[in-house]
Amino acid sequence: MVKAVIFDLDNTLYDENSYFLKVFEAFSKIYNIDINLFKNIFNYIFILECRDIFTDILKKIDFYSQEKQKQLFELYKSIDCNLELYDEAYELINYLNNKNINIAIITNGVLEAQKNKVRVLDLEKITNKIVYAREFGKDFEKPHEKPYIQTLKLLNVKKEDVLFIGDHPYTDIIGATKVGIKALRFMNGYASNIEFSHNYNINSLLEVKNFLGENKWKKRY
């Protein structure tokens, strides 16, 4: 029986693109430029191919300078905006709460930005077990075992009793399975276009309900 569910944050509980677009909109207003310049470029192909989102997108729209890149990055770390979880995320979280299944979150990325996302999404009302992998150092972010092991300690559960849900195969899924945690790949966002062999994929967060019982899990796995 699953006693705890660990979620990735970006593109698992909410649409990360919506956060980036809020940042681009704020930047566009500062310089009075057309937001569509960003929207026309910012797609999954760009995300998969870029090395530095802010540098690369400013160069794409022919608006790059070190100062502007820094300004865009600062907006990314601290923007105050309205952001919502996926409707299915709300429904699943309520379902888990009603089943007394503990919830935790592990997230990679720039510490200030990830904390800001947690703030604007009001996630601390859902769980106080949020692990920011960057706090261990960039080399210890997912798929490194360290954030997963720390989360298991916070939850005070055995790895066999935990289910992990994330969208990115090379950080989320590899990391969880390396530790021995059962993992579901949420086929969502740009990472759904990454070829990766994994038997346990879901297209809706509500499908998680089917993997909470031990018997169903054994049948599927």
In this predicted model, what pLDDT tens digit does every residue of 33-60 receive, in sequence order? Answer: 999 999 999 999 999 999 999 999 999 9
Domain count, the chain: 2
Residue 215 is predicted with a pLDDT of: 57
Cα–Cα nearest to 193, from 57, 60, 49 = 49
Q: What domain range is 59 assigned to?
A: 16-78
Q: What is the pTM of this model?
A: 0.95
Residue 111 is predicted with a pLDDT of: 98
Residue 1 is predicted with a pLDDT of: 86
pLDDT at residue 217 greater than cutoff 80: no
Residue 177 is predicted with a pLDDT of: 96
pLDDT at residue 76 greater than cutoff 50: yes
Average pLDDT rounded to a whole number, residues 112-117: 98
Same domain assignment for residues 104 and 157:
yes
Which amino acid type is present at position 120?
A: V
Same domain assignment for residues 10 and 110:
yes
Given pLDDT bands bounded at 50, 70 and 90, which one contains residue 221?
A: very low
Residue 71 is predicted with a pLDDT of: 98
Whole-number percent of the chain with pLDDT over 70: 96
Cα–Cα nearest to 203, from 182, 189, 187 = 187
Same domain assignment for residues 72 and 88:
no
Average pLDDT rounded to a whole number, residues 119-137: 97
C-alpha 48 chain-centroid distance: 15
Could you tell me the two tokens for 124?
């601390």
Same domain assignment for residues 34 and 63:
yes
Same domain assignment for residues 116 and 202:
yes
Same domain assignment for residues 90 and 194:
yes
pLDDT at residue 20 greater than cutoff 80: yes
Could you tell me the two tokens for 41?
């470029």
Given pLDDT bands bounded at 50, 70 and 90, which one contains residue 219?
A: very low
Q: Which residue has 């904390």 as its token pair?
A: 115
Domain end point (choices 60, 78, 96) = 78
Could you tell me the two tokens for 40?
């026309």
